[in-house]
Amino acid sequence: MTYFLAVADRRSFRQAAADLHLSQPALSQQIRSLERELGVTLFERASGRAGVTLTDAGERWAKEVRRITTDLNLSLRTLHSPPSAAVSTIRLGVSVAVPDELTASVVEAISSSLPAQVEVVPALTRAQVDMIEDGRLDFGLVRPPCRNHDLMLLDLLDSPLGVWMADDHPLTAFDPVPPSELSASPLATFERAAAPDLFDMQETQLRAAGVTSRLVEVPVSDTALAARMRSRDYPSLGPDRLTMPMHGLVWRHIAGDPMHMTTSVAWRRDETSAFVACIDALRPLGIRPEYPSQ
């Protein structure tokens, strides 16, 4: 079951074999033996195409194996824990400006998959990926990309990136705002230290769209962002929905909608605990299949 789930989660015999410290032929032989024993084909293999996909039978078997694994791990944890520790706590990191309804949906999905309490931990993306890797968080709602981290990501939300400004700012006359008009003044955005990969990607997208504004880095907090936007000095780059009150603020598309911000749930790629059941519960929320961070 371990070998099967490794291939199913990674969609790759090569990656699964490397993580299991097996040769790829040995892993392939184990999977073929399992398929013969079950009398079904679990994976679709196509020459010349990277990775594999689960068949319908494979999807059903993966769900059943994860259920069995979860039940076994929960039973073992309960057996070796005092009664007061029988209910787990799952720690979920949440980045700034993640919509409350998305956080609530993720908490509900996790709670429905395990008899566990969910502890929400506010943290920036950069801090979350470190906390997931060292075990201080089980899952995180992050803003990709998260390069050079051994994580799995499931995209939950794509939000168009535009500009927020005071409702009496001159740029409110445009909808959408042309890059040439936007380039006439500085543009506020989050400080690079909070999420360097995301900052660099957004700056590249802005330049490619013809926006030449000087970027003014603002501390990542709703209070700091709101103060900057209401000051009427600079428009601020941001998604179309914010968690803070938006009274006196106006949001506008950038012409051509050249930019989007993705919110994803992240977890460790080698996660093998009972929390894997949570991943099954989260998959229906995804807008794309999960994938490894690069």
What are the pLDDT digits (tens) for 143-159? 888 876 788 899 999 88
What pLDDT score does 220 carry?
66
Assign domain 2-82 to its CATH architecture: Orthogonal Bundle (1.10)
In the chain, list all ranges with CATH 1.10.10.10: 2-82
Q: 3-class SS at 221? A: coil
**Is the pLDDT assigned to residue 5 strictly greater than 70?**
yes
The burial of 153, by beta-carbon neighbours within 10 Å (0-12 exposed, 13-18 middle, 19 or more buried), is given as buried
Q: Residue 87 — pLDDT band, cuts 50, 70, 90?
A: very low
Q: How crowded is residue 86: how many other Cβ atoms within 10 Å of its Cβ?
A: 12
**pLDDT of 80 over the 90 cut:** no
CATH class of 160-259: alpha beta
pLDDT reported for residue 73: 56
Q: What percent of the chain has pLDDT over 70?
A: 82
Cβ(103)–Cβ(94) under 8 Å?
yes
State how far the alpha carbon of 223 is from the alpha carbons of 9, 97, 227, in Å: 40, 11, 6
For residue 231 the two structure tokens come to 């000051």
Look at the chain and count its residues. 294
* pLDDT of residue 270 exceeding 50: yes
